[in-house]
Amino acid sequence: MIVAKPKNNAFAEFRTEGREALQDKGNTALLQFVICCGIPPNILSAREFKNFIVVLNGHYSLPSRTTFEDKLVPTYAAAMRIA
């Protein structure tokens, strides 16, 4: 008799939510670092900076410079105007 194993999507959902939370927190910290310290966004393209981020946490996906400038900065700026 073959018994079907119940699908356990709870762990997969938990892992996905955890990675999304890490991405959000990482993006916020990156925005604050670059903007508040006056760091030019081209640092996001530097191989050494990418390596630094991977060493800190390989699960964090560093946004591209264009994503940073075109999506993250305007979203962050809008949130700051509301607050």
4 located within any domain: no
The 10s digit of each residue's pLDDT in 10-23 is 777 777 788 899 99
The tally of domains found in the chain comes to 1
CA distances in angstroms from 62 to 12, 35, 71, 82, 83, listed in the order given: 22, 16, 13, 26, 26
Count of CB atoms situated within 10 Å of the CB of 31: 19
Q: Which residue's structure tokens are 């018994």?
A: 3
On whether residue 54 sits in a domain, the answer given is: yes
pLDDT computed for residue 7 by the predictor: 59
2 is a domain residue: no
Structural domain boundaries enclosing 52: 10-82
pTM here is 0.76
